[in-house]
């Protein structure tokens, strides 16, 4: 499978809820109308961790995000091979806000409802990967994530 697109996806979990994005119905958006996990592209010359921090700052307004690479996910969407670098965001004290509302509406969904809310199977796979890693974090971090 030759790679045609590469990006970052960041799962933000806080107090037992996960941040999802409802994409607008726009003919120019390949994900129009879907509910998915926020993310973005990797610009030329960027590393995946740098791109994740830039995208988190741009989309969530978090200046110094604490994020952890969970893994890589290869998938196909609209007949193109894609690679997502999956990150988990551990919220600190900074307020999370939607700094790019034109990109989509942010919705906080309880973890137990998130799988059924996500539109794409690959998004559900990414959520499962994140949830599988939570028990490995120290107790203070787990508490911020799941309450």
Q: In tens digits, what is the pLDDT along the chain, a chain of 147 residues?
A: 565 778 999 999 988 999 999 988 877 777 778 899 999 999 999 999 999 999 999 999 998 888 899 999 998 877 778 899 999 998 888 888 888 888 889 999 999 999 999 999 999 999 999 999 888 777 777 777 776
- Domain with residue 56: its CATH number is 3.90.79.10
- Cα 65 → chain centroid: 13
Query: pTM of this prediction?
Result: 0.87
Structural domain count of the chain: 1
**Which domain does 17 fall in, by range?**
5-146
In the chain, the largest separation of any two C-alpha atoms, in whole Å, equals 44
CA–CA distances in Å: residue 83 to residues 1, 30, 59, 77, 125? 11, 16, 20, 10, 13
Distance separating alpha carbons of residues 86 and 68, to the nearest angstrom: 8
The alpha-helical segments, DSSP class H, found in the chain are 48-60, 111-117, 121-133, 139-146
């Amino acid at each position: 499978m030759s790679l045609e697109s590469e990006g970052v996806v960041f799962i933000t979990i806080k107090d037992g809820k996960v941040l999802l994005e409802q994409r607008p119905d726009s003919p120019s958006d390949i994900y129009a109308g879907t509910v998915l996990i926020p993310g973005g592209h990797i610009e030329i010359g960027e590393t995946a961790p740098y791109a994740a921090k830039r995208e988190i700052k741009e989309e969530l307004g978090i200046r110094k995000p604490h994020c952890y690479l969970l893994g890589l996910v290869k998938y196909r969407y609209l007949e193109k091979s894609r690679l997502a670098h999956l990150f988990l965001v551990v919220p600190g004290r900074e307020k999370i806000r939607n700094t790019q509302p034109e990109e989509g509406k942010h919705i906080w969904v309880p973890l137990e409802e998130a799988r059924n809310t996500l539109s794409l199977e690959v998004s559900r796979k990414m959520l499962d990967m994140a949830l599988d890693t939570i028990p490995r974090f120290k107790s203070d971090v787990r508490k911020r994530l799941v309450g």
